Amino acid sequence: MGWSQRLFGVIRRALSKEVKEQVGTDRFGNKYYYIPEYKNWRGQTIREKRIVEAANKSEIDYEVGDIPTEWEAWIRKTRQTPPTMEEIMKNEKCREEIQMKSQDFYEKEKLLQEESNKELPPPVQTQIKGHASAPYFGKDEPSVSPTSTGKTFQPGSWMPHGDKGHSQ
């Protein structure tokens, strides 16, 4: 950020009566600020703001997880009070325990799956030649009516009516 931008920011904050109060810092070095509701120099009411000043100023280097979940909840106003360092550490420890337990569970399930696969004989390969509900299941000759076994279709035999004026 250039010196002209910093100067402009200082002048803007001085005119706007904006009071930026630092409420905390996380383990990555990000600083969190609270700006209460205020009236600007034109008499407009400006709503409260919660902002983060990233330790790594480059937006290109921002990664998901650079802001702890608790601080992100505070920034998004889903929680009213800023988190304490003790709370963040406690939640981090719980997340690590859950991750370890899920890894253990996954490994146990994998071992059980391998053991159960060893005990069972391989499935017997059968050849299915149609469906039992088909009219000619197991028969070699086609019937008068059309049939289908799911994979094959056998049209029925058809003969035109000899009498044109006769309808069924």
Instruction: Report pLDDT digits (tens) over 59-106.
Output: 656 666 678 889 889 989 998 999 988 898 899 899 999 999 999 999
Residues 18 and 59 in one domain: yes
**Cα angle 122-126-129, degrees, rounded to a multiple of 5:** 160
Q: Are residues 45 and 68 in the same domain?
A: yes
Whether 152 is in a domain gets the answer no
For 92, the domain range is 84-119
d(CA 30, CA 154): 73
What is the token pair recorded at 146? Answer: 């059309």
* Same domain flag for 70 and 101: no
Please tell me whether residues 46 and 74 are part of one structural domain. yes
**148 located within any domain:** no
- Per residue in 133-145, pLDDT (tens digit) is 555 555 555 556 6
How many domains does the chain contain in total? 2
